[in-house]
Chain A
Amino acid sequence: MSAENSATGARTGTATDPGPAGGGTAQAVLPPLHCLRLLEPGPPRLAALPTGTPVWLVSRHADVRQVLTDPRLGRAPLHAPGAPPVSLTPNLLDDPSSMLNIDGVEHQRLRRTVQRAFTPRAIARWRPWVASVVEGLIDELIDRGSPTDIVAGYTRPLPIAVISRLMGLDGLDSKRLEHWSDHALSATAYSAEAIRTAMTEFAGFGAEVIAERRAAPGDDLVSSLLAAAADTPGITEQQIVTLVIGLVVAGHETTMTSLGNALVYLLSDGHDAWQQLASDEQSAAAATEQLLRAVPLGDSDVLPGLLRRAVEDLDIGGVRIPAGSVVAADTDAANTDPEVFTGDLLTELFSPLAAPMYTFGAGPHHCLGAWLARMELELALHRLARRLPSLRLAGTVEAIDWRRGLLTRSPQHLQVSW
Chain B
Amino acid sequence: MTGREATGAAPAVIVQVDRDRCIGSGMCAATAPGSLTLGADGLARPVREQPTGAAGEPLTSELADAVDYCPVEALSLYGVRDGRRIDPTG
Interface residues of A (CB under 8 A from B): 65-66, 68-71, 105, 108, 111-112, 115-116, 118-121, 356, 360-364, 366, 368, 370
Contacts and interface: CB of A to CB of B under 8 A. Distances in A.
Interface string B26-63: 11001100000010001100000000000000000000
Contacts of A116: 68-69
B72 interface: yes
B70 interface: yes
B71 interface: yes
A69 B24 contact: yes
A118 B71 contact: yes
B23 interface: yes
Contacts of A362: 23-24, 42
Given A105-B30, A108-B30, A366 B71 contact: yes
B69 A363 contact: no
Given A116-B69, A118-B71, A364 B26 contact: yes
7 contacts: A68-B42, A108-B30, A111-B27, A120-B73, A363-B23, A366-B25, A370-B72
A68 B24 contact: yes
Contact of B26 (A108, A112, A119): A108
Nearest to A109: B30
A115 B69 contact: yes
Given A69-B43, A363-B24, A364-B26, 9 more contacts: A68-B24, A69-B38, A71-B38, A108-B30, A112-B27, A119-B69, A120-B72, A361-B23, A370-B72
A179 B16 CA distance: 46
A366 B23 contact: yes
Contacts of B27: 108, 111-112, 115, 364
Contacts of A360: 23
A66 B42 contact: yes
Contacts of B38: 69, 71
Nearest to A66: B42
A364 B29 CA distance: 11
B42 A119 contact: no
Contacts of B20: 356
Contacts of A364: 24-27
B71 A368 contact: yes
Which 9 A-B residue pairs are closest in the complex by CB-CB distance?
A69-B42, A69-B24, A362-B23, A366-B23, A363-B24, A108-B30, A120-B73, A115-B69, A364-B26
Nearest to A112: B69
A99 to B, nearest CB: 13
Nearest to A105: B30
A370 B23 CA distance: 12
Contacts of B23: 356, 360-363, 366
Given A69-B42, A105-B30, A363-B42, A119 B24 contact: no
Contacts of B69: 112, 115-116, 119
